Structure 1
């Protein structure tokens, strides 16, 4: 849980709450900020594609990813060069993908060997806790007299302290009894896994659907209320909803069909994505943050569990493909919004069109997952 909190909350998502503060300090503008965000998305995609090919044990990759993420985060605070920031956030994206894939393979393997798969919610709650923690840190530390660069260094220090626990755990327990430690590449047989293309496609549409709402909810909140103590709560609220929802779903719906819960989560996210388009107010942005944040990690947890269940011997390879699909989707989201902006009068109109497109993708994937859930297990496992 703490491993995912550091890798995702800091390595992937820390830029979202820190970006307005860097703009406040005159370090970034809208275009340069978009470039840095896109480089992180691209790094996440590259990291996911490479993760399954690395000849490194999962526990070792977790340790490598965490230590490197902390170093890269600190390096962001040590420079004011935009090209270096682009490169560093690209590396942070690569490392967060490696850590997510390795932690998922390691953690789900241990839970399976212990007969406690319902505890997967605790594992994946780490992402939401990391997002909420980074957001609350920025909310508390955002003093006009404290530079955003210093905050990057402080965040790296807190992440380093947090990472000590998972580093000690993976050192002591490198692999579960059911799946002995082996290089990641060696875990994947030559024959590709069966019936996972549909899951990858749905997970890609999920990445496309979630990223626009997750990226622009804090900005929408700031447009409505200029008090940073108010609009700054949008991101921690998003993360807290993500953390709580994974635990609740894994405990309360552990006997439910995974695909149906996944499909229902997509439908709830559709409402969250479309709500700011039809009702622009602080309550609507708050509800949207709860709906998108509350389903974001539930979908991630269910998708990873379903993919691993369908390809037990190819777990790392399949999880890497799923993560790569998600990364591709979230990379295409802002590009679609920017492309629509060339044919519309203003940014808000372009964003609304992109959100409608994202909702359509989520809706179509929900129908596919629901139909797939009606198939006998032997047809898709």
Structure 2
């Protein structure tokens, strides 16, 4: 007999699921990167290819999530188990081709986990009349980034090594998976299915144009944010070779993400969702440009606040918009946004790595291009819906 799952339990389980999928499966690589550079002489170009492998897997996961034969709860369990396994294996090998494969699989699993968690939590919270609490679920990403970043900083100071750090992250991912159990049950599924049955079909006049606009803006967001999200600690390390200082860039990023996600509900009482999304992307563009215009540790700290303080706001608002305008096709629209995001973030490190290798393109030039993409997405969203 299935037991009733409360809104608080759903929020906590979703929080943990996104912490494992994103904070570890996607973003643990960023604070571990300086340790891998020290341990294995990994340069930024090779790091860019490892990042691109993860983003390629994320794209594959986004494209396949809606077509998987498993229901969302089973998809979530499989995704989190794969995140834990690939993270553990990163600490058991130093083979470059294996690293590439593992980062690709971790990206695949992260996308499955994001789509399934967003679908389950938004539908079930809406069925309980608590849809406004979905923001609490998404604070898991920022909070886990901050906590993982602090843990990596402490392990780096202790000279634990990157391999040991990957193993510790894998154990944490396994433990976290057990905390997502409330999302595996079916106790709130009938109510969620009933709510979905009464949802609009998402095919009103002009819907296709609105869908294309948010998909395009979300894809530009993926391209624009990924370079600072990948290389902030490495940029800080180039300026100050002290893990107690440069290691704070990533926790600061995560803390800003968690706090801003909590504030989003209040901001939505003042601004329409699309306008708030556009404003968040504009602030992110400013943050991306700061280290280019005024290189220095202060600029990197401000960039961490600007980018970290908006990237989960944009993620939350984008998925909420897809859930609102997608109607009965919300899961497919969420998957489409995730795929567009994955394409954008795949292109970012690839542009840097190829541009650096073939044209001598600097990271600063790539960041300027990323900021331009963010501004273009902001302009798309600022137009009235339907245009």
- What is the number of residues matched between the two proteins? 366
Instruction: Show the counterpart of 1:219.
Output: 234
Listed as ranges, the matches of 1:336-375 within 5 Å are: 336-341=351-356, 350-372=362-384, 375=385
Instruction: Show the counterpart of 1:68.
Output: 82
1:281 corresponds to which of 287, 296, 304: 296
Aligned equivalents of 1:26, 1:144: Cα separation in 2: 17
How far has the Cα of 1:118 moved from its partner? 2.0
How far has the Cα of 1:208 moved from its partner? 0.6
Instruction: Show the counterpart of 1:98.
Output: 112
Aligned equivalents of 1:363, 1:145: Cα separation in 2: 40
- Verify the 8 A CA contact 2:124 2:188 in the aligned structure 1: no
Give the TM-score, by structure 1 length.
Answer: 0.90
Which segment is superposed worse, 159-168 or 228-237?
159-168
Listed as ranges, the matches of 1:16-165 within 5 Å are: 16-26=30-40, 28-143=42-157, 145-165=159-179
Where in structure 2 are there 5+ consecutive unaligned residues? 1-14
Which segment is superposed worse, 359-368 or 299-308?
359-368
Aligned equivalents of 1:305, 1:145: Cα separation in 2: 42
Listed one character per residue, the Cα deviations across residues 131-166 of structure 1 (whole Å, up to 9, x for unaligned) are: 112211101122555232121111111222222111
Where in structure 1 are there 5+ consecutive unaligned residues? none
Give every structure 1 segment of 4 or more consecutive aligned residues whose post-TM-superposition deviation is greater than 6 Å.
none
Give the TM-score, by structure 2 length.
Answer: 0.88
How far has the Cα of 1:29 moved from its partner? 4.1
Aligned equivalents of 2:19, 2:70: Cα separation in 1: 22
Cα 1:198–1:115 shift into 2, 3 Å: same
How far has the Cα of 1:78 moved from its partner? 1.6
2:252 corresponds to which of 237, 242, 258: 237
Cα 1:59–1:293 shift into 2, 3 Å: same
Aligned equivalents of 2:317, 2:105: Cα separation in 1: 27
Say yes or no: does 1:300 pair with 2:339: no
- Verify the 8 A CA contact 1:119 1:251 in the aligned structure 2: no
Cα 1:35–1:20 shift into 2, 3 Å: same
- Verify the 8 A CA contact 2:90 2:99 in the aligned structure 1: yes
How far has the Cα of 1:289 moved from its partner? 0.4
SS of the equivalent of 2:52 reads helix
- Verify the 8 A CA contact 1:27 1:80 in the aligned structure 2: no
How far has the Cα of 1:117 moved from its partner? 2.4
Listed one character per residue, the Cα deviations across residues 294-345 of structure 1 (whole Å, up to 9, x for unaligned) are: 0000000000010111112111111111001001001111222234435765
How far has the Cα of 1:76 moved from its partner? 1.4
Cα 1:133–1:33 shift into 2, 3 Å: same
Cα 1:277–1:32 shift into 2, 3 Å: closer
Aligned equivalents of 2:88, 2:230: Cα separation in 1: 23
Cα 1:145–1:292 shift into 2, 3 Å: closer
SS of the equivalent of 2:40 reads coil
Aligned equivalents of 2:369, 2:229: Cα separation in 1: 15
SS of the equivalent of 1:16 reads helix
